[in-house]
């Protein structure tokens, strides 16, 4: 992993309290999932919320699910943090 990728992973781990290994496990497990399927995406969002120890409201869950399904996820770290309310 290059330094930039490591820095990003460290930031994600620090802000989410999810280990890099768990992030890789999740990424691997959804690699072949249909991220346009609402049930699949909703399950993933709930799983990540539980792992991070950060409950989210039903409204925020709906917003995240809708954004993923419609491929409208922000691409910068700052925009992601604003999107997730951090």
Contact predicate 53/16, CB 8 Å: no
Share of the chain above pLDDT 90, in %: 28
Cα 63 to Cα 12, 24, 44: the distances in Å are 20, 24, 14
Chain segment 21-36, per-residue pLDDT in tens: 888 888 888 888 898 9
In this prediction, residue 54 has a pLDDT band, given cuts at 50, 70 and 90, of confident
Q: What is the pTM of this model?
A: 0.70
Cβ–Cβ < 8 Å for 52, 85: no
Q: Which residues contact 14 (CB under 8 A, 6 or more apart)?
A: none
């Amino acid at each position: 992993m290059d330094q930039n990728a490591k820095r990003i992973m460290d930031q994600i781990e620090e802000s989410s309290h999810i280990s890099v290994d768990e992030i890789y496990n999740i990424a691997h497990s959804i690699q072949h999932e249909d991220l346009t399927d609402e049930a699949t995406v909703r399950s993933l969002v709930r799983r990540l919320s539980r792992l991070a120890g950060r409950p989210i409201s039903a409204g925020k869950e709906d917003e995240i699910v809708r954004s993923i399904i419609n491929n409208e996820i922000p691409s910068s770290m700052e925009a992601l943090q604003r999107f997730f309310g951090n």
